[in-house]
Amino acid sequence: MNEVCQIIPHRPPFLFVDEIIEITEEKAVAKRRVRAEEPHFEGHYPGNPIMPGVLLCEAVFQTGAIYLVEKLGRNGDLQQGATPILSRIKEAKFKNMVKPGEILTIEASFKETLGKFHFLRGTVRRNDGKLALTIDFALALIQEQ
């Protein structure tokens, strides 16, 4: 988790990436263990805990932010103090539920850049290999003010 915290500004309890598996020119792959003691399971749903879909999306967005910061940093295109901000969500499809104890593989793949907007496609797979989420999204890197 230390490596993740060195790259993006997110921190617990709103950090949904535990480990970076790989970063290539085209994508980033990360892992996340879903823990039963996470506070959202107290109300979503008592007796039948299911990982909220919005938090699966956030894991993909954070993986995309890791990808962008690393890619642009390597290319020398990253401005100091830039923060990855979500600017578009498109085509989120939830395929299978995620329960506590699952180990998720999260992938964010680069599609294109238009101006300051970086378009990516994300997936979340459960440890049984089943797809839990597919989503297209865009991030912008915004300078702190």
Instruction: State the catalytic residues.
Output: 44
Distance in angstroms (rounded) separating the CA atoms of residues 56 and 101: 14
Q: Which two tokens stand for residue 87?
A: 């600017």
Question: What is the longest distance spanned by two Cα atoms in the chain?
Answer: 49
Cβ(139)–Cβ(120) below 8 Å: yes
Cβ(132)–Cβ(97) below 8 Å: yes
